[in-house]
Amino acid sequence: MFDSHKTQSVIRRVAIVGSGLAGLVTATRLRAAGVEVTLFEKSRGPGGRMAAKRLPEPAGGSADIGAQYFTIRNPEFRQFLDQYAGPSAYGEWNGVFRYQDSEQGWQDMRSAQRYVGIPRMSAITRAISRDLDVRSGIRIARLKRDSDGLWQLRDTDGKVYERFDAVVLTPPPAQTVELLSGSGLAELAGDLNIRVSHMQACWTVVLHFPEGAGATFQALMPDSRRLHWIANNSSKPGRDDEGEWWVLHADPDWSDAHTDTAPEQVREELLEEFRACSGITALHRESLVHRWLYARPRARTTPGHLWFRDSRLAIAGDWLEGGRVEGAYNSASGLVGRLESEGLIPTSR
Ligand SMILES: Cc1cc2nc3c(=O)[nH]c(=O)nc-3n(C[C@H](O)[C@H](O)[C@H](O)COP(=O)(O)OP(=O)(O)OC[C@H]3O[C@@H](n4cnc5c(N)ncnc54)[C@H](O)[C@@H]3O)c2cc1C
Protein backbone atom coordinates (compact mmCIF):
# COMPACT_ATOMS: atom_id res chain seq x y z
CA MET A 1 0.00 0.00 0.00
CA PHE A 2 2.87 2.41 0.85
CA ASP A 3 6.20 2.98 -0.83
CA SER A 4 8.37 0.57 1.12
CA HIS A 5 11.68 2.37 0.88
CA LYS A 6 10.15 5.57 2.13
CA THR A 7 8.69 3.73 5.12
CA GLN A 8 11.92 1.89 5.90
CA SER A 9 14.06 4.97 6.44
CA VAL A 10 15.09 6.14 9.90
CA ILE A 11 12.43 7.76 12.09
CA ARG A 12 13.18 11.45 12.55
CA ARG A 13 9.86 13.03 13.49
CA VAL A 14 7.30 11.47 15.80
CA ALA A 15 3.85 12.49 17.03
CA ILE A 16 2.77 11.12 20.40
CA VAL A 17 -0.87 11.19 21.44
CA GLY A 18 -1.19 11.54 25.23
CA SER A 19 1.24 12.96 27.77
CA GLY A 20 0.78 10.63 30.72
CA LEU A 21 3.91 8.86 31.93
CA ALA A 22 4.01 6.49 28.92
CA GLY A 23 3.89 9.38 26.42
CA LEU A 24 6.46 11.40 28.36
CA VAL A 25 8.90 8.50 28.72
CA THR A 26 8.61 7.69 25.01
CA ALA A 27 9.16 11.35 24.12
CA THR A 28 12.14 11.76 26.46
CA ARG A 29 13.86 8.64 25.19
CA LEU A 30 13.24 9.48 21.54
CA ARG A 31 14.45 13.02 22.03
CA ALA A 32 17.62 11.74 23.69
CA ALA A 33 18.18 9.71 20.51
CA GLY A 34 17.90 12.86 18.40
CA VAL A 35 14.32 12.35 17.20
CA GLU A 36 12.05 15.41 16.94
CA VAL A 37 8.96 14.74 19.06
CA THR A 38 5.61 16.52 19.50
CA LEU A 39 3.14 15.42 22.16
CA PHE A 40 -0.59 16.14 21.85
CA GLU A 41 -2.59 16.18 25.08
CA LYS A 42 -6.34 16.69 25.37
CA SER A 43 -6.19 17.91 28.98
CA ARG A 44 -4.90 21.24 30.24
CA GLY A 45 -1.51 19.82 31.14
CA PRO A 46 0.59 16.67 31.10
CA GLY A 47 0.42 13.84 33.64
CA GLY A 48 -2.66 11.80 32.72
CA ARG A 49 -3.65 9.52 35.57
CA MET A 50 -0.71 10.62 37.76
CA ALA A 51 -3.04 13.45 38.63
CA ALA A 52 -3.39 15.89 41.49
CA LYS A 53 -6.34 18.20 41.95
CA ARG A 54 -6.04 21.70 43.39
CA LEU A 55 -8.32 21.92 46.39
CA PRO A 56 -10.81 24.61 47.28
CA GLU A 57 -9.82 27.50 49.56
CA PRO A 58 -9.59 28.23 52.42
CA ALA A 59 -7.84 24.90 53.01
CA GLY A 60 -6.12 24.93 49.59
CA GLY A 61 -3.33 22.53 48.70
CA SER A 62 -3.79 19.57 46.39
CA ALA A 63 -4.56 15.87 46.59
CA ASP A 64 -3.53 12.93 44.42
CA ILE A 65 -6.78 11.79 42.87
CA GLY A 66 -5.32 9.20 40.48
CA ALA A 67 -2.26 7.02 41.18
CA GLN A 68 -1.70 6.88 44.94
CA TYR A 69 1.86 5.60 45.01
CA PHE A 70 4.15 3.63 42.73
CA THR A 71 6.82 0.96 42.90
CA ILE A 72 10.35 1.10 41.50
CA ARG A 73 11.34 -2.49 40.82
CA ASN A 74 13.14 -1.77 37.58
CA PRO A 75 16.43 0.04 38.38
CA GLU A 76 16.24 1.79 35.00
CA PHE A 77 13.01 3.44 36.13
CA ARG A 78 14.84 4.98 39.11
CA GLN A 79 17.68 6.17 36.87
CA PHE A 80 15.14 7.71 34.53
CA LEU A 81 13.32 9.49 37.36
CA ASP A 82 16.55 10.83 38.83
CA GLN A 83 17.77 12.06 35.48
CA TYR A 84 14.60 13.59 34.08
CA ALA A 85 12.33 14.40 37.06
CA GLY A 86 15.13 14.95 39.60
CA PRO A 87 15.60 13.16 42.94
CA SER A 88 13.63 15.84 44.81
CA ALA A 89 10.48 15.32 42.69
CA TYR A 90 9.68 12.01 44.38
CA GLY A 91 10.21 10.22 47.67
CA GLU A 92 9.18 7.30 49.83
CA TRP A 93 5.83 7.28 51.62
CA ASN A 94 6.08 5.44 54.92
CA GLY A 95 3.45 4.70 57.48
CA VAL A 96 0.89 2.20 58.63
CA PHE A 97 -0.85 0.52 55.67
CA ARG A 98 -3.49 -2.11 56.38
CA TYR A 99 -5.84 -4.35 54.48
CA GLN A 100 -8.91 -6.13 55.79
CA ASP A 101 -8.99 -9.88 55.38
CA SER A 102 -12.49 -11.34 55.34
CA GLU A 103 -11.49 -13.99 57.87
CA GLN A 104 -8.56 -12.61 59.84
CA GLY A 105 -9.57 -8.95 60.02
CA TRP A 106 -7.10 -6.07 59.71
CA GLN A 107 -3.58 -7.05 58.65
CA ASP A 108 -0.46 -5.04 57.83
CA MET A 109 0.14 -4.73 54.11
CA ARG A 110 3.22 -6.45 52.75
CA SER A 111 6.23 -4.29 53.48
CA ALA A 112 7.27 -2.45 50.33
CA GLN A 113 8.82 0.78 49.20
CA ARG A 114 6.01 3.06 48.10
CA TYR A 115 6.94 6.19 46.19
CA VAL A 116 4.98 9.40 45.56
CA GLY A 117 5.56 12.66 43.72
CA ILE A 118 6.61 15.63 45.88
CA PRO A 119 4.75 17.88 46.64
CA ARG A 120 2.09 16.12 44.54
CA MET A 121 1.99 13.16 42.16
CA SER A 122 1.92 15.39 39.08
CA ALA A 123 5.24 17.03 40.11
CA ILE A 124 7.00 14.10 38.43
CA THR A 125 5.30 14.39 35.06
CA ARG A 126 5.54 18.22 35.16
CA ALA A 127 9.29 17.97 35.66
CA ILE A 128 9.78 15.35 32.93
CA SER A 129 7.73 17.43 30.47
CA ARG A 130 9.73 20.63 31.10
CA ASP A 131 11.91 20.38 27.99
CA LEU A 132 9.40 18.58 25.78
CA ASP A 133 7.08 20.01 23.14
CA VAL A 134 3.70 19.27 24.77
CA ARG A 135 0.68 20.77 22.99
CA SER A 136 -1.97 20.76 25.70
CA GLY A 137 -5.71 21.19 25.18
CA ILE A 138 -5.57 19.36 21.83
CA ARG A 139 -7.67 16.24 21.38
CA ILE A 140 -6.59 14.20 18.38
CA ALA A 141 -9.60 12.84 16.53
CA ARG A 142 -8.17 11.34 13.37
CA LEU A 143 -4.97 9.91 11.90
CA LYS A 144 -4.22 9.67 8.22
CA ARG A 145 -1.24 8.93 6.01
CA ASP A 146 -0.41 11.31 3.18
CA SER A 147 0.74 10.33 -0.31
CA ASP A 148 4.39 10.19 0.95
CA GLY A 149 3.39 7.70 3.64
CA LEU A 150 3.81 10.30 6.40
CA TRP A 151 1.29 10.68 9.23
CA GLN A 152 -1.15 13.55 9.54
CA LEU A 153 -3.08 14.17 12.75
CA ARG A 154 -6.32 16.12 12.89
CA ASP A 155 -7.69 17.52 16.14
CA THR A 156 -11.33 17.96 17.14
CA ASP A 157 -11.26 21.59 15.87
CA GLY A 158 -10.18 20.39 12.44
CA LYS A 159 -6.58 21.62 12.74
CA VAL A 160 -4.08 19.39 10.97
CA TYR A 161 -0.52 18.55 12.12
CA GLU A 162 1.60 17.09 9.34
CA ARG A 163 4.50 15.01 8.18
CA PHE A 164 5.37 12.68 11.02
CA ASP A 165 7.41 9.57 10.25
CA ALA A 166 5.67 7.62 13.02
CA VAL A 167 2.82 7.95 15.53
CA VAL A 168 2.69 6.62 19.08
CA LEU A 169 -0.72 6.30 20.76
CA THR A 170 -0.78 6.22 24.56
CA PRO A 171 -4.42 6.84 25.61
CA PRO A 172 -6.31 4.13 27.54
CA PRO A 173 -7.61 1.32 25.28
CA ALA A 174 -11.18 2.53 24.70
CA GLN A 175 -9.86 5.94 23.58
CA THR A 176 -7.17 4.33 21.41
CA VAL A 177 -9.74 2.06 19.75
CA GLU A 178 -12.03 5.07 19.18
CA LEU A 179 -9.17 7.01 17.55
CA LEU A 180 -8.24 4.10 15.29
CA SER A 181 -11.85 3.39 14.33
CA GLY A 182 -12.46 7.08 13.56
CA SER A 183 -9.35 7.03 11.35
CA GLY A 184 -10.49 4.22 9.08
CA LEU A 185 -8.04 1.87 10.79
CA ALA A 186 -10.76 -0.54 11.81
CA GLU A 187 -8.51 -3.55 11.32
CA LEU A 188 -6.01 -2.31 13.90
CA ALA A 189 -8.86 -1.28 16.20
CA GLY A 190 -10.37 -4.75 15.88
CA ASP A 191 -7.04 -6.39 16.63
CA LEU A 192 -6.73 -4.22 19.72
CA ASN A 193 -10.25 -4.97 20.87
CA ILE A 194 -9.35 -8.61 21.04
CA ARG A 195 -6.15 -8.02 22.95
CA VAL A 196 -7.21 -5.44 25.52
CA SER A 197 -8.86 -5.90 28.80
CA HIS A 198 -11.64 -3.62 29.96
CA MET A 199 -10.51 -0.57 31.96
CA GLN A 200 -12.57 -0.12 35.07
CA ALA A 201 -13.95 3.15 36.36
CA CYS A 202 -13.08 4.68 39.73
CA TRP A 203 -15.15 7.15 41.70
CA THR A 204 -12.91 9.31 43.90
CA VAL A 205 -13.93 11.39 46.90
CA VAL A 206 -11.60 13.86 48.62
CA LEU A 207 -12.39 15.07 52.15
CA HIS A 208 -10.85 17.82 54.26
CA PHE A 209 -10.60 17.48 58.03
CA PRO A 210 -9.47 20.88 59.35
CA GLU A 211 -8.53 19.42 62.74
CA GLY A 212 -7.20 16.13 61.34
CA ALA A 213 -9.10 12.85 61.31
CA GLY A 214 -7.41 11.37 64.38
CA ALA A 215 -6.45 8.13 62.62
CA THR A 216 -3.59 5.82 63.62
CA PHE A 217 -2.96 4.64 60.04
CA GLN A 218 -2.01 6.22 56.72
CA ALA A 219 -3.95 3.98 54.33
CA LEU A 220 -6.48 1.16 54.37
CA MET A 221 -7.81 -1.34 51.88
CA PRO A 222 -11.10 -2.41 53.42
CA ASP A 223 -13.00 -5.59 52.67
CA SER A 224 -15.88 -3.63 51.23
CA ARG A 225 -18.23 -3.83 48.29
CA ARG A 226 -18.11 -0.04 47.90
CA LEU A 227 -14.63 1.14 48.93
CA HIS A 228 -11.28 -0.03 47.61
CA TRP A 229 -8.86 2.46 49.19
CA ILE A 230 -8.75 5.07 51.96
CA ALA A 231 -5.65 7.27 52.43
CA ASN A 232 -4.48 10.28 54.35
CA ASN A 233 -3.01 12.26 51.46
CA SER A 234 -1.52 14.77 53.90
CA SER A 235 0.69 12.03 55.37
CA LYS A 236 2.68 11.81 52.13
CA PRO A 237 6.09 13.48 52.18
CA GLY A 238 6.37 17.16 51.22
CA ARG A 239 2.70 18.03 51.76
CA ASP A 240 2.17 21.14 53.81
CA ASP A 241 -1.57 21.03 54.35
CA GLU A 242 -3.69 22.77 56.91
CA GLY A 243 -5.45 19.89 58.60
CA GLU A 244 -5.68 16.66 56.60
CA TRP A 245 -6.93 15.78 53.12
CA TRP A 246 -8.16 12.20 52.71
CA VAL A 247 -8.68 10.35 49.43
CA LEU A 248 -11.26 7.57 48.98
CA HIS A 249 -11.31 5.33 45.91
CA ALA A 250 -14.43 3.32 45.24
CA ASP A 251 -14.29 -0.37 44.42
CA PRO A 252 -13.78 -0.91 40.64
CA ASP A 253 -16.88 -3.12 40.17
CA TRP A 254 -18.99 -0.73 42.25
CA SER A 255 -17.64 2.19 40.18
CA ASP A 256 -18.47 0.39 36.92
CA ALA A 257 -22.00 -0.22 38.15
CA HIS A 258 -22.42 3.44 39.21
CA THR A 259 -20.83 5.42 36.37
CA ASP A 260 -24.09 7.34 35.87
CA THR A 261 -24.94 7.87 39.53
CA ALA A 262 -25.08 11.52 40.64
CA PRO A 263 -21.82 12.68 42.30
CA GLU A 264 -23.69 13.83 45.44
CA GLN A 265 -25.13 10.35 45.91
CA VAL A 266 -21.72 8.76 45.31
CA ARG A 267 -20.23 11.05 47.96
CA GLU A 268 -22.91 10.13 50.51
CA GLU A 269 -22.59 6.39 49.91
CA LEU A 270 -18.79 6.40 50.03
CA LEU A 271 -18.74 8.67 53.07
CA GLU A 272 -21.01 6.33 54.97
CA GLU A 273 -18.80 3.37 54.03
CA PHE A 274 -15.63 5.33 54.91
CA ARG A 275 -16.94 5.98 58.43
CA ALA A 276 -17.97 2.36 58.88
CA CYS A 277 -14.66 0.92 57.60
CA SER A 278 -12.21 3.37 59.17
CA GLY A 279 -13.95 4.15 62.44
CA ILE A 280 -13.19 7.84 61.80
CA THR A 281 -15.87 10.01 63.35
CA ALA A 282 -14.29 13.47 62.83
CA LEU A 283 -16.37 15.81 60.67
CA HIS A 284 -15.03 16.92 57.31
CA ARG A 285 -15.54 20.47 56.02
CA GLU A 286 -14.80 20.53 52.26
CA SER A 287 -15.12 17.69 49.79
CA LEU A 288 -14.91 17.02 46.08
CA VAL A 289 -15.88 14.14 43.83
CA HIS A 290 -14.15 12.99 40.64
CA ARG A 291 -15.10 10.21 38.25
CA TRP A 292 -12.42 8.29 36.33
CA LEU A 293 -14.04 6.44 33.46
CA TYR A 294 -10.83 4.56 32.67
CA ALA A 295 -8.77 3.98 35.79
CA ARG A 296 -7.19 0.54 35.80
CA PRO A 297 -7.36 -2.59 33.64
CA ARG A 298 -9.51 -5.43 34.94
CA ALA A 299 -6.93 -8.05 33.90
CA ARG A 300 -3.19 -7.83 33.60
CA THR A 301 -2.40 -8.22 29.91
CA THR A 302 1.31 -7.86 29.18
CA PRO A 303 2.30 -7.66 25.54
CA GLY A 304 4.34 -4.59 26.65
CA HIS A 305 3.67 -2.45 23.61
CA LEU A 306 2.40 -2.84 20.06
CA TRP A 307 4.42 -1.85 17.01
CA PHE A 308 2.88 -2.02 13.55
CA ARG A 309 6.04 -1.70 11.53
CA ASP A 310 4.45 -1.35 8.10
CA SER A 311 2.18 1.46 9.22
CA ARG A 312 4.78 2.98 11.55
CA LEU A 313 2.26 3.14 14.32
CA ALA A 314 2.95 2.20 17.92
CA ILE A 315 0.76 1.77 20.97
CA ALA A 316 2.09 2.03 24.51
CA GLY A 317 0.62 2.51 27.97
CA ASP A 318 0.23 0.96 31.39
CA TRP A 319 -2.59 -1.30 30.21
CA LEU A 320 -0.21 -3.19 27.90
CA GLU A 321 2.21 -3.88 30.76
CA GLY A 322 0.10 -4.95 33.73
CA GLY A 323 -1.38 -1.52 34.61
CA ARG A 324 0.20 0.87 37.11
CA VAL A 325 2.77 3.62 36.93
CA GLU A 326 5.80 1.37 36.61
CA GLY A 327 3.97 -0.55 33.87
CA ALA A 328 3.57 2.72 31.92
CA TYR A 329 7.32 3.30 32.21
CA ASN A 330 8.17 -0.27 31.19
CA SER A 331 5.80 -0.18 28.22
CA ALA A 332 7.26 3.05 26.84
CA SER A 333 10.82 2.06 27.53
CA GLY A 334 10.26 -1.32 25.84
CA LEU A 335 8.85 0.37 22.77
CA VAL A 336 11.84 2.69 22.38
CA GLY A 337 14.21 -0.26 22.93
CA ARG A 338 12.39 -2.10 20.14
CA LEU A 339 12.76 0.83 17.74
CA GLU A 340 16.46 1.02 18.60
CA SER A 341 17.01 -2.68 18.11
CA GLU A 342 15.27 -2.56 14.74
CA GLY A 343 17.68 0.21 13.73
CA LEU A 344 14.85 2.69 13.21
CA ILE A 345 16.30 5.28 15.62
CA PRO A 346 19.84 5.85 16.88
CA THR A 347 20.67 4.17 20.23
CA SER A 348 19.94 6.62 23.07
CA ARG A 349 21.77 4.97 25.98
C1 LIG B 1 -7.92 6.17 40.59
C2 LIG B 1 -6.61 5.61 40.15
C3 LIG B 1 -5.76 5.02 41.08
C4 LIG B 1 -4.54 4.49 40.68
N5 LIG B 1 -3.69 4.00 41.63
C6 LIG B 1 -2.46 3.58 41.26
C7 LIG B 1 -1.50 3.21 42.23
O8 LIG B 1 -1.74 3.33 43.43
N9 LIG B 1 -0.29 2.77 41.80
C10 LIG B 1 0.02 2.70 40.48
O11 LIG B 1 1.16 2.33 40.14
N12 LIG B 1 -0.86 3.09 39.53
C13 LIG B 1 -2.08 3.52 39.90
N14 LIG B 1 -2.98 3.94 38.95
C15 LIG B 1 -2.65 3.74 37.54
C16 LIG B 1 -1.65 4.80 37.02
O17 LIG B 1 -2.16 6.08 37.27
C18 LIG B 1 -1.45 4.54 35.55
O19 LIG B 1 -0.97 3.22 35.40
C20 LIG B 1 -0.47 5.47 34.81
O21 LIG B 1 -0.54 6.78 35.30
C22 LIG B 1 -0.82 5.37 33.32
O23 LIG B 1 0.03 6.18 32.52
P24 LIG B 1 -0.18 6.17 30.95
O25 LIG B 1 0.73 7.20 30.38
O26 LIG B 1 -0.10 4.79 30.44
O27 LIG B 1 -1.71 6.62 30.71
P28 LIG B 1 -2.45 7.98 31.08
O29 LIG B 1 -1.85 8.57 32.30
O30 LIG B 1 -3.91 7.69 31.10
O31 LIG B 1 -2.11 8.95 29.84
C32 LIG B 1 -2.86 8.97 28.66
C33 LIG B 1 -3.02 10.43 28.24
O34 LIG B 1 -3.65 10.46 26.95
C35 LIG B 1 -4.47 11.60 26.91
N36 LIG B 1 -5.41 11.39 25.80
C37 LIG B 1 -6.37 10.45 25.69
N38 LIG B 1 -7.00 10.54 24.49
C39 LIG B 1 -6.40 11.57 23.83
C40 LIG B 1 -6.60 12.15 22.54
N41 LIG B 1 -7.51 11.68 21.68
N42 LIG B 1 -5.82 13.22 22.18
C43 LIG B 1 -4.87 13.71 23.05
N44 LIG B 1 -4.65 13.19 24.28
C45 LIG B 1 -5.39 12.13 24.66
C46 LIG B 1 -5.12 11.62 28.30
O47 LIG B 1 -5.64 12.88 28.62
C48 LIG B 1 -3.92 11.24 29.17
O49 LIG B 1 -3.21 12.38 29.62
C50 LIG B 1 -4.18 4.52 39.32
C51 LIG B 1 -5.02 5.15 38.40
C52 LIG B 1 -6.21 5.70 38.81
C53 LIG B 1 -7.07 6.42 37.82
Q: What is the pLDDT of residue 187?
A: 82
The CB of 324 under 6 Å from ligand 1? The reply is yes
Establish if 327 belongs to a structural domain. yes
The CB of 323 under 6 Å from ligand 1? The reply is yes
Using alpha carbons, select from 257, 265, 251 the residue that is nearest to residue 202: 251
Distance 66 CA to ligand 1 centre (A): 8
Pocket test residue of 29, 49, 177 for ligand 1, highest count of atoms within 8 A of CB:
49
The CB of 49 under 6 Å from ligand 1? The reply is yes
Q: Mean of the pLDDT values across residues 261-283?
A: 97
- What is the number of residues in the chain? 349
Distance 47 CA to ligand 1 centre (A): 8
The CB of 66 under 6 Å from ligand 1? The reply is yes
Residue 318 alpha carbon, nearest atom of ligand 1: 26
Band the pLDDT of 44: cuts 50, 70, 90. very high
Residue 191 reports pLDDT greater than 80: no
Number of domains in the chain: 1
Residue 124 reports pLDDT greater than 50: yes
CA–CA distance, 10 with 253 (Å, rounded to integer):
45
The CB of 18 under 6 Å from ligand 1? The reply is yes
Pocket test residue of 136, 249, 324, 326 for ligand 1, highest count of atoms within 8 A of CB:
324
Q: What is the 3-state secondary structure (H, E, C) of the chain?
A: CCCHHHHCCCCCEEEEECCCHHHHHHHHHHHHCCCEEEEEECCCCCCCCCCEEECCCCCCCEEECCCCCECCCCHHHHHHHHHHHCHHHEEECCCCEEEEECCCEEEECCCCCCEEECCCCHHHHHHHHCCCCEEECCCEEEEEECCCCCEEEEECCCCEEEEECEEEECCCHHHHHHHHHCCCCHHHHHHHHHHCCCEEEEEEEEEEECCCCCCCCCEEECCCCCEEEEEEHHHCCCCCCCCEEEEEEECHHHHHHCCCCCHHHHHHHHHHHHHHHHCCCCCCCCEEEEEEEEEEECCCCCCCCEEECCCCEEECCHHHCCCCHHHHHHHHHHHHHHHHHCCCCCCCC
Beta bridge partners of 115: 70, 92
- For residue range 71-105, list pLDDT tens digits in order: 999 999 999 999 999 999 999 999 999 999 999 99
Q: What is the pLDDT of residue 196?
A: 67
Q: What is the pLDDT of residue 2?
A: 37
Q: What is the pLDDT of residue 7?
A: 47
The CB of 229 under 6 Å from ligand 1? The reply is no
The CB of 93 under 6 Å from ligand 1? The reply is no
Q: What is the pLDDT of residue 1?
A: 36
CA–CA distance, 49 with 199 (Å, rounded to integer):
13
Establish if 348 belongs to a structural domain. no
Establish if 71 belongs to a structural domain. yes
Domain harbouring 264, CATH code: 3.50.50.60
Cβ atoms of 328 and 20 within 8 Å: the answer is: yes
Give the range of the structural domain holding residue 14, as residue numbers without chain letter.
4-341
Establish if 347 belongs to a structural domain. no
Nearest CA, atom 32, ligand 1: 171
Q: What is the pLDDT of residue 348?
A: 61
Band the pLDDT of 8: cuts 50, 70, 90. low
Cβ atoms of 173 and 18 within 8 Å: the answer is: no
- For residue range 198-253, list pLDDT tens digits in order: 899 999 999 999 999 999 999 999 999 999 999 999 999 999 999 999 999 999 99
**Measuring CA to CA, how many Å separate 283 from each of 178, 207, 272, 278?**
43, 9, 12, 13
Q: What is the pLDDT of residue 298?
A: 87
Average confidence score pLDDT of the chain: 94
Establish if 221 belongs to a structural domain. yes
- For residue range 282-339, list pLDDT tens digits in order: 999 999 999 999 999 888 777 899 999 999 999 999 999 999 999 999 999 999 999 9
Residue 204 alpha carbon, nearest atom of ligand 1: 1
Establish if 104 belongs to a structural domain. yes
Nearest CA, atom 21, ligand 1: 49
The CB of 203 under 6 Å from ligand 1? The reply is no
Q: What is the pLDDT of residue 104?
A: 96
Band the pLDDT of 194: cuts 50, 70, 90. low
CA–CA distance, 140 with 39 (Å, rounded to integer):
11
**Measuring CA to CA, how many Å separate 249 from each of 4, 54, 65, 204, 267?**
49, 17, 8, 5, 11
- For residue range 66-79, list pLDDT tens digits in order: 999 999 999 999 99
Most confident of the following: 179-193, 264-278, 288-302? 264-278
Q: Mean of the pLDDT values across residues 124-138?
A: 98
Establish if 68 belongs to a structural domain. yes
Q: What is the pLDDT of residue 300?
A: 75
Residue 176 alpha carbon, nearest atom of ligand 1: 38
The CB of 244 under 6 Å from ligand 1? The reply is no
Distance 20 CA to ligand 1 centre (A): 6
Establish if 346 belongs to a structural domain. no
Lowest mean pLDDT among 141-150, 159-168, 296-305: 296-305
